[in-house]
Amino acid sequence: MDYHERKSIVNMLSMIIVLGIYYWTVFERFNSQMMTTDEQLQFWSKAILIAIPVSIITKIVVMIVFAISNYLITRERMPSFEDERDKLIELKATRNSYIVFGIGFFISLAVLAFGYPPKYMFISIILGGIASEIFDNLSKVYYHSKGV
């Protein structure tokens, strides 16, 4: 397993853990309160807006810790350049991620169109975002191991 595969796996697992814990607490807080529709919209909007910097900061910290621990364990430095193969893998994985997020967003609109409460729309957007992150990292691992 090369550096890029390990990096994608660590990134995926850390995001699943951090966002899983974050949204678990959000769901617990949401279920413990009775809210009007306007309050629900405000609650879920705040939850998603807070999740964005949480995930960015988590990615930065995890990648720093990964780079240091990877060097200490393997004595392998992180690659100082990105070749055409790496760029192509990144583009394909990003494409796959956008497709998954687009499907999740479409599902969230369909949920709202069929008359379900707004909380289900936000939950499907959140799940679509997490699924797209997972799919992005799985695509990177797949393309790096199999080749483009």
pTM here? 0.85
77, amino acid identity: R
Q: What's the pLDDT tens digit per position in 48-92?
A: 999 999 999 999 999 999 999 989 998 888 887 788 999 999 999
* Other CB atoms within 10 A of residue 61 CB: 12
Q: What's the pLDDT tens digit per position in 33-42?
A: 888 888 888 9
- pLDDT given for residue 105 in this prediction: 95
Catalogue the long-range contacts made by 49-56 (C-beta closer than 8 Å, 24 or more residues apart): 51/19, 51/22, 51/23, 51/126, 54/18, 54/19, 54/22, 55/15, 55/18, 55/19
- Which tokens is 24 given? 């678990």
Domain count, the chain: 1
Are the C-beta atoms of residues 54 and 22 closer than 8 Å to each other? Answer: yes
| Structural domain boundaries enclosing 62 | 3-146
Q: How far apart are CA 18 and CA 62, in angstroms?
A: 11
